[in-house]
Amino acid sequence: MSSRTASETDVLILAPFGKDSALIEGVLSRSGVSAIAVGADEMVAAIPEQAGAAIIAEEALQNDIINELARKLETQPTWSDFPIIVLTGGGLSTEATEVAVRSRAPLGNVALLERPLRAATMISAVRTAMAARRRQYEVRDHLRERTAAEDALRSARDTLETIVEDRTVALRRLSAQLLKVQDEERRRIARELHDSLGQYLAAIKINLGLLAFGHGDQTANLNEVQQLLDRAIAETRTLSHLLHPPSLDLAGFASAASWYVEGFAKRSGIRASLKLPENLTRLPVSVETALFRIMQEALTNAHRHSQSQVVEISLAVDDALATLTVVDFGKGIPKEVLDGLNHSGTNVGVGLAGIRERAKELGGTFEVESGPTGTTLKASVPLAARNANVFEADPPSQIYSSLVS
């Protein structure tokens, strides 16, 4: 018996008497067919995927071997129909040969070669069996590829379903947070109007009443009315500019950002610097609005959470992208919040989620790097941004509520 392990391209030879195995193996090898002589146990172990075909001498097919081969062949996969060539004895049919024929029936795909046989006949039969076997292996490989593709598709579908579910949860949470922020900002604006403009208007009404009835010092009352009106106008202008600076529409991002960063530094006590490209021209309206709102949200986060004394804002513009970078030198974003933002978009505040959604809606990207020495927010927006009207009609920015409350 051979000492090497059989492969799926080998022809197994089981011929127990004399030099038959060696002769058959030699004939096949000289014809370019890989053949290996084996024992009954080795043949049973090799079926069905460690051999291409089998040549079995009739005298080897005792009942126990036939039963073992039959049991093994019954378990072969659906693509496999293992070919067996049986070398039979010559002569007329007898009762013994009829019994032998019936005993071979459980072996399935059996071809008979009657001895004595010519080498060319055996080689032809073997090559025919091996060609059929190669087609079976092609079917097997195709089925395996299809199974692998189906598994990959199923895994991708499950992954996408998980991502969609996570995104849906994140969007629901963001929507609820936005509604909450909107309600809070409406209350703050209402309080600001009541406590500031409302009080000025009430005082003006009182002084106008005194003037109407000729009470008190007319000149002093008139001067006070003028002062109150000046304050009311200034408060109205400040409130209007914080909600949407007119310079953003009239002069563009550079002017609005410069005005806003200067005011932010005064109101918050944080040293804020702004670096803009030289000779910056107007960008698309949707891009300028998105960049301005992103800058507001980023400064709001720095003011509320970072405890940084310095914030650096810079804008870079090339032929395709406008990239806004905001750097603070504070305590950094907690790891669980950063992981939630990077992996699923969940468990993050409305500010970071809002920045990411603004950039995403315009086909851009949003990146966050954070550690114990500070945080870097980078938002890139294509200059040919889609959805030109996205976020044009936003609710008031959070930066207003954080600075006037």
At 149 the pLDDT is: 95
Between the CA of residue 157 and those of 70, 150, 165, 166, 171, what are the distances in Å?
A: 42, 10, 12, 14, 20
At residue 103, the pLDDT reads 66
Tokens representing residue 18 in the block: 């004399």
How does pLDDT run across 323-350, given as a tens digit for each residue? 999 999 999 888 887 877 766 555 555 6
* Per-residue confidence (pLDDT) for residue 347, from 0 to 100: 52
Q: Which segments of the chain have a pLDDT < 50?
A: 386-405
pLDDT of residue 205: 83
In what helix (H) or strand (E) does residue 21 lie, and over which residues does it extend? helix 20-30
pLDDT at 274: 95
Q: Which domains does the chain have, with CATH numbers?
A: 11-117 (3.40.50.2300), 246-405 (3.30.565.10)
User: What pLDDT sits at residue 139?
Assistant: 94
- The CA distance from 360 to 305, in Å, is 24
Residue 329: the pLDDT is 94
Burial class (CB in 10 A: 0-12, 13-18, 19+), 188: middle
SS3 346: coil
Confidence at residue 390, expressed as pLDDT on a 0 to 100 scale: 39
**What pLDDT, on the 0 to 100 scale, is given for residue 64?**
84
CA 250 – CA 252 distance, rounded (Å): 6
pLDDT digits (tens, 9 = 90+) for 358-392: 888 888 999 999 989 999 999 999 998 544 443 34
The pLDDT of residue 387 is 44
